[in-house]
Structure 1
């Protein structure tokens, strides 16, 4: 069974009702955030030195976490890998190649890069290994052994 359509002439704006109250609040919030982001982006000296994040995968095995980070054209000496108890950080700098002629289009990022990831468990930072093969940096971070429950005898 179809119900009849009720139609009032004109939209809510034409009837003088304006935006519904939640929409007005969302629009004000949107305008304030837009103003904040514009002012932060254009007045901050950090925009020229902001780091980009290279593409990377983080996967977990039973024994370790493995980070595979794409860093084509970057020498081993220009990459810094730091591992803490619950965090891995890969940073460095990619400099632009010097070529003859005028650059017409840049499609690859240059400058500082940084990849950070939080690790959910403690790791053995002394046993971390890293290798750079064919532009892919592979960092293997062994997990620390969790305390296994065991029965404790009460003395005395």
Structure 2
């Protein structure tokens, strides 16, 4: 039989530790996921022998409302999803509207001039051909006297 008094704060400590862990894991993203601002834009990135393929889910976006910029190994997606006008009163509002900006770092450099983008069934698909990697070679050292 325990002789100590019950301390409610000791009971909350494990709960706080679990909440802290949940918060850390939900806020920290891997580097490949990129920086996000505004409304969330989830992406998938695939790699083939020739290119990186980025698939971004942007429901309600029109091609003219999305900007794509490539610089070195960085892809930036930005734009705006405009709120639809409806007659009447909203009963349920789960979709998000507003501006977005997503910056993604590819594993290697890409050829920006050959990049292509299209909307396929509401998903933005960006194909970024890989830049040719310079071959390594041995460099002879001259002797200068």
TM-score by length of structure 1 reads 0.65
Report how far residue 154 of structure 1 moved: 7.7
Match of 1:72, SS?
coil
| More strand per residue | 2
Counterpart residue number, 1:10: 2
Match of 1:107, SS?
coil
Within-5 A mapping of 1:14-93: 14=5, 51-93=38-80
Gaps of 5+ in 1: 1-8, 34-49
* C-alpha contact (below 8 Å) 1:72/1:134 kept by paired residues: no
Structure possessing the higher relative contact order (Cα contacts under 8 Å, 6 or more residues apart):
2
Deviations 1:40-94 (A, max 9, x none): xxxxxxxxxx602222211111111000112232211100111111211111111
Larger Rg: 1
Gaps of 5+ in 2: 24-36
Report how far residue 155 of structure 1 moved: 8.3
Deviations 1:2-26 (A, max 9, x none): xxxxxxx327x6289x96xxx7xx8
Closer/same/farther in 2, CA of residues 15 and 112 from structure 1, 3 Å limit: closer
Taking the aligned partners of 1:133 and 1:81, their CA distance within structure 2 comes to 16
After superposition, the CA RMSD in angstroms is 3.0
Taking the aligned partners of 1:83 and 1:126, their CA distance within structure 2 comes to 9
Tell me the number of residue pairs that the alignment of Structure 1 and Structure 2 aligns.
122
| Alignment partner of 1:147 is 2:139 | no
* C-alpha contact (below 8 Å) 2:60/2:82 kept by paired residues: no
